Amino acid sequence: MVRPLKNMEEVAVIGGGLAGLSAALHGARLGRLVTLFEGSGLYGGLVATVDEVDGLGVAGHHSGQAVAMHLLEQAKKQGVQVVEWPVVRVELGERIALTTEDGKTCHPEAVIVASGAGLRRLGVPGEEKFTGRGVSRCATCDGGFYRGRDVAVIGTGDAAVTEALVLAKTSRTVTMVCRSPIKAKPIYVDRLAARDNVRFAWDSEVVEVMGENSVAGLRLRNVRTGNESTLEVAGVFPFIGVEPNAAFLPPGLLNNDGTVRADASTASTDPRLFAAGAVREGYGGNVAQAMAEGIAAAEAAAKLLAGRG
């Protein structure tokens, strides 16, 4: 019996982070025709810059990039099509219409949104000016430029602490600028405490990134007293939280914080669209959870399409 020709984008997965890659791979293994859209070329998303990924449940040292490239390779072997153009609009009419930045539109039967989140910016003078000239968001990528020099990490969460740990291996000093107490996992805090070249600027926020041709320091404000001070550093690594990447979706699908409203099955308020990972409401920030949600979304999408015959 000849298999009838199918829509070549039965399932569209938006985002090549670990949630999206897991969804695409699993969807293809379930026999669905899957197209993965990743516009940045940074497979793995924010995790791609992590030197060692915790929480995978497997032994050994695994970088975020290595995990992502393994999933991508396996997905391609399963027949997943990869489109390296950003998705700029998803319309949920009688037929789903997904439009990419190059102006092409496709009509998948189901969409899995796994577009993740982007790092929130400081929003202070000097940040944009010195991006790439002292302001960085990847210690693994750029830490070598600051070997033997003083740097600052802004933030108190897991991402900030893990970046500080990477930088502490090569930089002379790492100052963590903390508006509030450290919120990272205890295992990361213990590792940080073991480093004798890590300093802390407590109750502090960045007012300005200073310099001429490159970063020379930070102007800080104490949030309790209002007093300002100067910290001399050559590199600044801000990790003050993330914002969901969901501007391409209809506003009716989103919460006030920009996350996609979704139930326990990952289905959104439109039953043809599913959400997984950091773009989804209630995401806990764990890598294993992101991958599990991607798999769950693929299962839900496959079930939806199977129900349509």
pLDDT of 2 higher than 60? no
Q: Quick one: average pLDDT of 298-306?
A: 96
Tell the burial category of 87 from Cβ atoms under 10 Å away from its Cβ (0-12, 13-18, 19+): buried
CATH architecture assigned to 11-119+242-307: 3-Layer(bba) Sandwich (3.50)
User: pLDDT confidence of 183, banded at 50, 70, 90?
Assistant: very high
Per-residue pLDDT of 192-237, as tens digits, reads 999 999 999 999 999 999 999 999 999 999 999 999 999 999 999 9
Distance CA 25, CA 79 (A): 9
pLDDT recorded at residue 3: 37
pLDDT of 172 higher than 90? yes
Distance CA 257, CA 70 (A): 32
The sheet carrying 173-178 orders its strands as 198-202, 173-178, 150-154, 235-238
Reported pTM: 0.79
Class of domain 139-238: alpha beta
Distance CA 44, CA 17 (A): 4
| Residue 277, phi then psi, degrees to nearest 5 | 85, -155
Residues of the chain with CATH 3.50.50.60: 11-119+242-307, 139-238
Per-residue pLDDT of 36-88, as tens digits, reads 999 887 787 766 556 566 555 554 566 777 888 899 999 999 999 999 999 99
| Residue 158, phi then psi, degrees to nearest 5 | -55, -45
Return the higher-pLDDT residue of 102 and 65: 102
Q: Quick one: average pLDDT of 94-120?
A: 94
Structure tokens at 157: 């969460």
Contacts of 225 (CB under 8 A, 6+ apart): none
pLDDT recorded at residue 250: 96
Query: H/E/C letters for each residue in the chain?
Result: CCCCCCCCCCEEEECCEHHHHHHHHHHHHCCCCEEEECCCCCCEHHHHHCCCCCCCCCCCCCCHHHHHHHHHHHHHHCCCEEECCCEEEEEECCCEEEEECCCCEECCCEEEECCCEEECCCCCCCCCCCECCCECCCHHHHHHHHCCCEEEEECCCHHHHHHHHHHHCCCCEEEEEECCCCCCCHHHHHHHHCCCCEEEEECEEEEEEEECCCEEEEEEEECCCCCEEEEECCEEEECCCEEECCCCCCHHHECCCCCECCCCCCECCCCCEEECHHHECCCCCCHHHHHHHHHHHHHHHHHHHHHCC
